[in-house]
Amino acid sequence: MTDSEILNSDTIKTLDTRISEVTVYTDRALVTRRGTVALTGNETELTIASLPATLETDSVRATGSGTIAVRLLGVRTETVYSSEPVGDRTAELTQQIQELQTQRRAIEDKLAARKIQLKFVEGLSEKSVGSFSSSIAKQQIGLNETGELLNFLGTNYLKYVSAIAQHERQQQELDNQIQALQQQLRQVQTPNCQQTFNIIVAIEPSGSGNFELEVSYVVTQAYWTPLYDFRVNTTTNQINLNYLAEVNQNTGEDWTGIALTLSTAKPGLGTLPPKLEPWYIDIVRPKSTQNIEFAMMAMPIERSSAPASAPAPDPARARIAAQTATAEVSREGSTVSFQVGGNTNIPSDGTPHKVTVFSENYPFKPEYIAVPRLVSFAYLQAVVVNPLTGATLLPGKANIFRDNTFVGTVELDNISPGAEFKLNLGIDEGLKIDRELVERQVDKKLIGNQRRTSYAYRLNVTNLQQVQVHLTLREQLPVSRNEQIKVRSTLTNPKIVPGEMGLLEWIIALPPQAKQELYYQFVVEHSPDLTVIGLDI
CA angle 474, 366, 404 (to 5 degrees): 120
Distance, in Å, from the CA atom of 488 to the CA atom of 19, rounded to the nearest integer, reads 73
SS3 call for 310: coil
Beta sheet of 451-463, edge-to-edge order: 431-442, 451-463, 515-526, 486-493
Residue 508: pLDDT over 80: yes
Distance, in Å, from the CA atom of 138 to the CA atom of 143, rounded to the nearest integer, reads 12
Distance, in Å, from the CA atom of 98 to the CA atom of 100, rounded to the nearest integer, reads 5
Q: Packing angle between helix 87-137 and helix 143-189, nearest 10 degrees?
A: 160
Taking only the tens place, the pLDDT of each residue in 433-448 is 999 999 988 877 777 6
Phi, psi of 390 (to 5 degrees): -85, 180
Residue 484 binned pLDDT confidence (cut-offs 50, 70, 90): confident
**pLDDT at position 532, please?**
82
Q: What value does the mean pLDDT take over residues 477-482?
A: 87
Beta sheet of 12-14, edge-to-edge order: 12-14, 45-51, 193-205, 70-83
Predicted structure pTM score? 0.59
CA angle 288, 293, 298 (to 5 degrees): 155
Distance, in Å, from the CA atom of 477 to the CA atom of 487, rounded to the nearest integer, reads 8
**Which one is predicted more confidently, 111 or 5?**
111
The neighbouring-strand residues paired with 381 are: 367, 424
Q: If we measure between CA atoms, which residue out of 350, 240, 262, 202 comes closest to residue 22?
A: 262
According to DSSP, residue 267 is labeled G
Residue 289: pLDDT over 50: no
Residue 324: pLDDT over 70: no
Taking only the tens place, the pLDDT of each residue in 371-383 is 998 888 899 999 9
Q: Where are the beta strands (DSSP E) in 347-463?
A: 353-370, 378-385, 396-402, 405-412, 420-428, 431-442, 451-463
Give the length of the chain.
537
H or E element at residue 93: helix 87-137
Distance, in Å, from the CA atom of 220 to the CA atom of 55, rounded to the nearest integer, reads 7
Q: If we measure between CA atoms, which residue out of 240, 243, 221 comes closest to residue 231?
A: 240
Provide the 10 A C-beta neighbour count for residue 519. 14
Taking only the tens place, the pLDDT of each residue in 204-243 is 999 999 999 999 999 999 999 999 999 999 889 999 999 9
Residue 134 binned pLDDT confidence (cut-offs 50, 70, 90): low
- Cβ atoms of 55 and 195 within 8 Å: the answer is no
When the pLDDT of each residue in the chain is averaged and rounded to a whole number, the result is 82
What own/partner pairs with CB < 8 Å and gap ≥ 24 does 332-337 have? Answer: 335/263, 335/264, 335/265, 336/263, 336/264, 336/391, 336/392, 337/23, 337/261, 337/262, 337/263, 337/264, 337/265
Q: If we measure between CA atoms, which residue out of 512, 22, 99 comes closest to residue 255?
A: 22
Distance, in Å, from the CA atom of 501 to the CA atom of 253, rounded to the nearest integer, reads 59
**Which one is predicted more confidently, 76 or 185?**
76
Summarize the chain as % helix, strand, coil (round to 5). 20, 45, 35
Q: If we measure between CA atoms, which residue out of 526, 475, 470 comes closest to residue 499?
A: 475
Distance, in Å, from the CA atom of 303 to the CA atom of 370, rounded to the nearest integer, reads 33
Distance, in Å, from the CA atom of 348 to the CA atom of 191, rounded to the nearest integer, reads 23
Instruction: Report the share of the chain in percent with pLDDT over 70.
Output: 80
H or E element at residue 127: helix 87-137
Characterize the bridge pairing of strands 12-14 and 18-24: unpaired
According to DSSP, residue 521 is labeled E
